[in-house]
Structure 1
Amino acid sequence: MDEEEGERIQSIDVTGYGGGDGGSASFRLDVTANTSMPDVDPAEHGTVRGEPFFLVYLDAATENDSRFTYVEGALVERSPELSHESSGRYTLTVPQGAFEENGAEPGEHELLVLLMDQDKDWDDIYGMQTVTVEYQPDE
């Protein structure tokens, strides 16, 4: 991920729903990001226009080497392909079931949001940001 490209996620607003004891069971993430990718792919891949989308991971760990960023964690949301906007606003949802399926205990959890470009060989990361949520499941 290029440092300049890493700033494409401009903000993430979190709204929690349901739950109790000061936490929420489900979360809506309103993401503002630059998803304009007019010339990011090599022409030999068919088109130079990128295919942006978001991934959301629960309690993920990342590792960088000289060429790649590796993500290890539970994928809990993948958006459809996004429109190309210099400052677009997109909504992602992480339901209670995503926490339950991954054995999440009540308490503080980190959601990692990645702005991606779909590619033939491997998808490229164009933005990365984390938010912390207080998960409290509905009984």
Structure 2
Amino acid sequence: MGKYKKLPDSYFKFVHPVIISLVAVGIYLIVMAWLDPKNISPTYFGRVAEFATWVGTENNNIMKQLVLSTVAIHITKAMVAVYLCQKLKLNSAVTVAWTIQTLFLGIFSLWYLIWPQREIRNSNKSTKTKVKKDK
């Protein structure tokens, strides 16, 4: 725990927007495959829509179990995020932000809480090289 003492209490890092988009599309597809597989647009999703429609039509119960399992796993990860925020002594507003981000994005968000020093070390290196280039 000693290596986290230098972590500021306002530590928060957004997940990359491309990852956010991919997670959103994936969640949309599995929910639609469970609830309404016939209305997944092949115009936007192409062959993936055909596959999701087929899986949702032929194996609807499996899609239901997949969605419910995904929800349970994401809720568990959000609880882990709250625990890690308390362990790292982050303030309450940042804890709420981490919890919401982890609830929707899962491990892609939790990664920055599990190994925060990697991100701080990488940002310090890039700042130092930027300063050297400016001189």
Q: Which has the higher contact order (CA 8 A, sep 6+)?
A: 1
Q: Which entry has the higher C-alpha Rg, 1 or 2?
A: 2
More helix by share: 2
Q: TM-score, normalised by structure 2?
A: 0.27
Q: TM-score, normalised by structure 1?
A: 0.26
